[in-house]
Chains A and B, each alone.
Chain A
Amino acid sequence: MELADLVDLEACLVADEEARREGVEGRRSLARRDAAIGRKIVGDHGEDATVLRRRVGELRAARQAIACDWLEEMRQTRKDLPGRRLSEGLDVAGFVLTLVGVLVGIGAARAFLAYDGREPVNVFGFLALFCGLQVLLLLGTAWALAGRGSRGPRTGRLTGALARLARMPVLDRFVGGRRAQLEAGLGRALGRRTLYRDVEQWLLFSHAQRFGTWFNLAVIATFLYLLTFTDLAFGWSTTFSVDGDGFHRATTIVSLPWAAFASGAVPGQDLVELTRWARDGGGGWVVESEGVRPVGAWWSFLLLALLVWGLLPRAVAWLFARRKLRASLAGSALDHAAFERLFDRLLGGATEVGWATPDAETVGRAAPRRTPATGVPEHRSRTTTSVQESPPAEPAPVRTLPVQESAPVDAAPAAVAATPESVSEVPSEPVAPAISAPPTGRTLVTWGRFCELQDAEVSTIGRAIGQPDPGQRLRAGDDLRVEEEDLQRLSGARTDDVQVLVESGVQPTREVLRYLERLRETLPPPGRVTVWLLARDESGDVAACPAHELEQWQMRLDVEGDLYVRIETLGEEATS
């Protein structure tokens, strides 16, 4: 996967999320578009949509393949996607950095190596500037990179400052009544920044090392030029009380990497002693030792020092950063809520709606549920409206999806996997509640007043939301002690399929968001959670929540920048 692909995918998904916010029509339009693309993708891969959906839920490579197929189709109609432009912009930025690195390198080298015949070039300063400082900068950058975690909510001073800025009441004067939208937009951007922080940091690091590499090349080239075409003299001097022995030890340590094969480039004690300069009484400079002054003998040491301590670390770091950047792009999980919605629209939810349970073994045994003769995926997702179209006239070459992740997947144990039938089919008979059963891959959390529901009622709601087997049940939003105990219980369950039932009217307050955050932290990464906002009438029937509530929750979660919490309600026809 290329950077341009990732950027375009996210740009498309952001646009799609905006369309969803426009209401029922927007969602229907997305559903129609992606159902058509989904049929093509299913035809291309020659596999059942259910199998594809399940595999997409389990394997990163499958997600990337399907997402790229989708993007390819999107690019046919959307010519305004920013990925290619961004990629080209980064190339230009890289070229500019190269140019600047060369110019700065030449300038720095010429400035430092300016020898007018009176004062020799100070080896001490040369080493400090072109080797010591660079190594320190590199180590500092590496330390900063190593100090950043790979998971968790958005962090960092910049993001924190921006978030605080967005919460300032004074902002109302400038943005009018659009502060909430601004906060949500900022949250979405910061959420994605957090999600792709590896890509971002390796991209920046790579560019920085590119600059450094070309800087060092320019310094070396200038050094060689000045050595060849001018008469340079080297000496060493420092205000600090460093004697010849001490400086010799330092140069010996610096020379260690090449001492074995280029002993001539290791300064000896004599050279060090003979080339020490000091201030004289009249304001000039005198060499401290009498005799011949080997002022040009330092060059080989300095050249190798530049190569080994300047150029080499930068070049290695550059190559390393490029490799890490590629790995970060290839490792993009494409598994946050917007991607899951996309896969549901494309392939129909293998688990109706909600998150798929990682279980490669189940996939291997799954008997493919036959799609209609056209090969069209049967869209049973409650959030989509499918339009049946004719299959492609010409059979396209069959592409294959990986059936196993190349890297080990943090899969749930086989024992917790739901059977294919229970996952893909809604049973006609009520499912026996699994309240007292040992932890399974599924978890259903009832929030607030929903905690009062009987298990049978929860099962009924579970079927309504496409979860005929709700798995273990947790309670939250009522008794704090029970909430805590249930969370502890969940921490040992290794589940990645959590549905939270929230009654319409409950606001996304900090206590709800804090609970969701804790819930996610308890789950194995990435810790995906689906919140179902459901209205319930006197007879106990559940229905869709009002559309504005859905939007409120989505905006509030956007502000938090958490892309892994999905907000859903029943059906497309959310009442307004």
Chain B
Amino acid sequence: MTESSGSAGSGAAGAPLFVVVGNVNQGKSSIVATLAEDPTVPIDRFPGTTIEAGRYEFRAGGRTLFTLMDTPGFQEPRQALAWMQERSSSAEDRHDTVAAFVAAHEHGDRYADEVRLLRPILDGAGIIYVVDASSRFQPANEAEMEILRWTGCPGLALINRTHERDFAYDWNPVLNQFFGAVIAFDAHQATFEDRLELLRAFRAIRQDWRAPMDQALDAMGRDWSERRQQAARLIARQVTTTLTHVERVRLTDGSDEERISQSLEQRYREHLRKVEVEARQEIEGLYRHRQLEIELDPLDPNRADLFSETAWRAFGLTRMQLAKSGAIWGAAAGSVIDLAVGGLSFFAGAAIGGLSGGLAGWLGGSSVGRAWSEQSAVARQLLPGEHGRFRAMGPVNAPAFAWILLDRAALHVLAVSERAHARSDRLEVGAKDGPQGIVTRLDPALRKRLDQCFRRAIKRALDKGPTSTPDEKLVAAIDEVLVVAVQTRSDAADT
């Protein structure tokens, strides 16, 4: 969606134009921001924030499919209606009377806001009349709706239910007298599906707008899927980069080895944190959010540091799942030894490896990557061109960590994709009280595929060094994880 400053009236090239109108401070801009996925729409809790009418076009395939217009609210509807009533003699001339009102006050200060919002309606725009469900119906609202009725233009009413106090029940019979459809909508909690639902209702405003709106809805659906796939790719890249990263520090004569080791681990962790933050920012950009604020809170798993105990407890697989996964990892490693000795070990390597891997998975541990000295063969393999004394850390050797990464990333995508653009508060990732992670609920087959991808990534790092290019199988598996996550959330909401 793009913002442009076209002329008032119908949308670009005859595309549907919907004008969002109502009293001041009813949440019109919030609705526009949520529908247009534009967090830059000026929203303030102080009335009269919208001074100029802003146009937000939905474009696909190089053309505008429909336009939303945010308007300043009615300021003096009773007086405006009185002006019109004085000059109208029958229902026949009401549209012309509204036009005369606009013409008469075009250049004056008084009724400037009314003129701004009525002009596009008179040019044939569809009306989206917004009321705040937390306030009661007032005489001024009746005057507003009467003026809109006088324009003779089709429209629907939207009850914005963003507050606890709710008079939607009182509003419905009133709004039904003036509008063909009345829809309840929470601009702060609306998900993608809610937005589609609302836009489907817009189709009914005018018969000839159905086709362009259907095209727009199709385009939105496709765009949404593409975004999810891109998010999956971004997560896969983050996971791959994190799992395969190797941090190294050179040593000089007289270096304090203990201090160097601590510093190495700190730098290693810092880098992984940075990779996570960057991936999150890219995903937020993908869903058209400005940089969202997530304040670190060691007690809240959703806002805890990547390496905090809270996060490790809350995310990733369960102990049993980790033990199983560890056993597979260990058995695979043991099998390599069995193969190396030509099967003379009678698969004892696989058995011992599986047992020890399972045990390690069960017991867990907070160590993420192992430290290496320059004398280690692994270190020489990881950093073949490196000479002299050094210490290295990585790649990740804790199986649990890969799942924690994935869990946190998937929850973040879920939170960002479901977040309405009208909100300006802190991003809430996951539910504080409910089960935190997603990966524990995955299908075992999918879990196994992911496990293989993780192993492959680490093995590749050991063979060829660090990489940030994800395996396509990992991308596909993560996309499935996101689909499951959305479905799980949707099921939970329905329940």
Give me the interface of A with B, judged by CB distance under 8 Å: 167, 169, 172, 177, 179-180, 448-449, 451, 477-480, 503-511, 514, 535, 546, 548, 552, 555-556
Contacts and interface: CB of A to CB of B under 8 A. Distances in A.
Given A505-B136, A511-B79, A556 B46 contact: yes
Given A506-B135, A510-B113, A546-B165, 20 more contacts: A167-B51, A169-B51, A169-B52, A179-B49, A478-B139, A503-B138, A507-B23, A509-B23, A509-B47, A509-B74, A509-B75, A509-B140, A510-B75, A511-B76, A511-B78, A511-B79, A546-B163, A548-B45, A552-B25, A552-B46
Contacts of A556: 46-48
B135 A505 contact: yes
Interface of B: 23-25, 42, 44-49, 51-52, 73-79, 82, 113, 132, 134-140, 163, 165, 424
Contacts of B140: 448, 477, 506, 509, 511
By Cβ-Cβ distance, the 9 closest A-B pairs, closest first, are A505-B135, A510-B75, A180-B46, A511-B76, A448-B138, A478-B139, A507-B25, A509-B75, A507-B24
Contact of B76 (A172, A451, A510): A510
A59 B165 CA distance: 44
A477 B138 contact: yes
A177, A509, A511, A535: residue with the most chain B Cβ atoms closer than 10 Å: A509
A509 B138 CA distance: 13
B42 A172 contact: yes
A511 B113 CA distance: 12
13 contacts: A169-B52, A180-B46, A478-B139, A480-B79, A506-B138, A506-B140, A509-B23, A509-B140, A510-B113, A511-B76, A511-B140, A514-B76, A546-B165
B88 to A, nearest CB: 16
Contacts of A555: 46
A511 B75 contact: yes
A508 B76 contact: no
B44 A449 contact: no
Nearest to A447: B138
Best-buried of B52, B78, B140 by chain A (most CB within 10 Å): B140
A177 B290 CA distance: 14
Contacts of B78: 477, 480, 511
A511 B80 CA distance: 10
A179 B132 CA distance: 23
A514 B75 CA distance: 10
Given A169-B52, A505-B134, A509-B76, A477 B139 contact: yes
A509 B24 contact: yes
A168 to B, nearest CB: 8
Contacts of A514: 76
B399 to A, nearest CB: 45
A552 B45 contact: yes
A167 B25 CA distance: 17
A508 B51 contact: no
Contacts of A169: 51-52
Contact of A505 (B45, B74, B132): B132
Contacts of A548: 45
Contacts of A506: 135, 138, 140
B413 to A, nearest CB: 27
Contacts of A552: 25, 45-47
Contacts of A179: 44, 49
A535 B135 CA distance: 9
A167 B42 CA distance: 13
Nearest to B113: A510
A510 B137 CA distance: 18
A508 B78 CA distance: 14
A546 B42 CA distance: 23
Contact of A449 (B23, B46, B52, B137): B137
Contacts of A535: 165
Contacts of B24: 507, 509
Contacts of B49: 179-180
Contacts of B76: 509-511, 514
A504 B134 CA distance: 9
A180 B136 contact: no
Contacts of A451: 139
A479 to B, nearest CB: 8
A167 B75 CA distance: 16
B42 A508 contact: no
A506 B46 CA distance: 13
A31 B248 CA distance: 61
A177 B23 CA distance: 21
A556 B47 CA distance: 8
B22 to A, nearest CB: 10
A209 B52 CA distance: 47
A539 B233 CA distance: 57
A436 B303 CA distance: 63
B23 A480 contact: no
A449 B139 CA distance: 7
A22 to B, nearest CB: 16
Contact of A448 (B45, B132, B139): B139
Contacts of B75: 509-511
Nearest to A554: B46
A177 B136 contact: no
B139 A507 contact: no
A546 B163 CA distance: 11
B46 to A, nearest CB: 4
A469 B190 CA distance: 48
Contacts of A478: 139
A339 to B, nearest CB: 25
B30 to A, nearest CB: 14
A448 B137 CA distance: 9
A478 B139 CA distance: 5
A562 to B, nearest CB: 16
Which one of A478, A504, A505, A508 has the greatest number of beta carbons of chain B within 10 Å? A505
Nearest to B142: A478
Nearest to B43: A177
Q: Name the residue in A179, A510, A535 with the highest tally of chain B Cβ atoms < 10 Å from its Cβ.
A: A510
A507 B137 contact: no
B259 to A, nearest CB: 44
Contacts of B52: 169
B138 A508 contact: no
Given A511-B75, A556-B46, A503 B136 contact: yes
Nearest to A503: B136
B77 to A, nearest CB: 8
Contacts of B25: 507, 552
A480 B113 CA distance: 20
A504 B47 CA distance: 14
A503 B24 CA distance: 15
A510 B140 CA distance: 12
Contacts of B135: 503-506
Nearest to B81: A480
A508 B47 contact: yes
Nearest to B25: A507
Nearest to B45: A548
**Most-contacted residue by chain A among B42, B52, B77 (CB, 10 A):** B42
B312 to A, nearest CB: 36
Contacts of A504: 135
A12 to B, nearest CB: 25
Given A504-B135, A509-B76, A510-B76, A177 B45 contact: no
Given A509-B75, A511-B78, A449 B138 contact: yes
A546 B75 CA distance: 22
A556 B48 CA distance: 9
B363 to A, nearest CB: 48
Nearest to B42: A172
A451 to B, nearest CB: 8
Contacts of B74: 509
B3 to A, nearest CB: 13
A535 B165 CA distance: 10
Contacts of B132: 505
A539 to B, nearest CB: 14
A325 B140 CA distance: 46
Of B46, B136, B137, most A-chain CB atoms within 10 Å: B46
